[in-house]
Amino acid sequence: MTTYSARPIEPAVLKELRGVDDAGRPMVPLVDDEGGAPLRCCLGRSARGERIALVSYAPLRRWAAETGADPGAYDEQGPVFIHAEECGGPDGEDHPFADAHRTVRRYSAHGHILGGRLVEGPEGFDEAFAQAFADPEVALVHVRAVEYGCFLYEVRRD
């Protein structure tokens, strides 16, 4: 049986993003007046009054740099929320941000999109991940928000 896990942005990468993000912009912290922002550093939601930042992040580009893949035109960067300072990391939740429809996007070892699947609620994630990782061509999965297409987190085989 294949096991897999949700992966937050790595601490070393967060340190870089808190200096200069993947678009070359310096981080600009802000106080979250509303709360509820999906934080990619700890895979939880921000609390009202927390200091967070919206930074540009290129998850596939960073994965490709680790693995030697060449995603070509599939390389993209987009906005993600992070804590403005170091945080304790994830609390171990199996399916973070499962409170809305999500897209599970599959990628090959070359960094090319192999397909995707709409997940409608927490009960659909296990099946979507099992189906994705049953395909030996799938190297990793991105979970994305449907409404904006934003990257939420990466899933890899354990």
**pLDDT, tens digit (0-9, with 9 covering 90-100), for 62-72:** 999 999 999 99
Residue-number span of the structural domain to which 110 is assigned: 101-157
Looking at the structure, do residues 30 and 74 belong to the same domain, yes or no? yes
- Which residues share a beta bridge with 37? none
Residue 1 has a pLDDT of 60
For residue 151, tell me if it sits in a domain: yes
For the chain, give the number of residues.
158
Q: How much of the chain is in helix, strand and coil states, percent to nearest 5?
A: 20, 35, 45
For residue 129, tell me if it sits in a domain: yes
Q: How far apart are CA 16 and CA 58, in angstroms?
A: 12
pLDDT digits (tens, 9 = 90+) for 97-146: 998 899 999 999 999 999 999 999 888 999 999 999 999 999 999 999 99
pLDDT digits (tens, 9 = 90+) for 22-39: 999 999 999 999 999 999
Q: How far apart are CA 125 and CA 3, in angstroms?
A: 13
Note the pTM of the prediction, 2 decimals. 0.93
Query: Which of 54, 154, 48 is CA-nearest to residue 97?
Result: 154
Looking at the structure, do residues 14 and 68 belong to the same domain, yes or no? yes
Domain final residue, candidates 83, 111, 128: 83
Helix (H) or strand (E) holding 43: none
DSSP summary character for residue 103: E
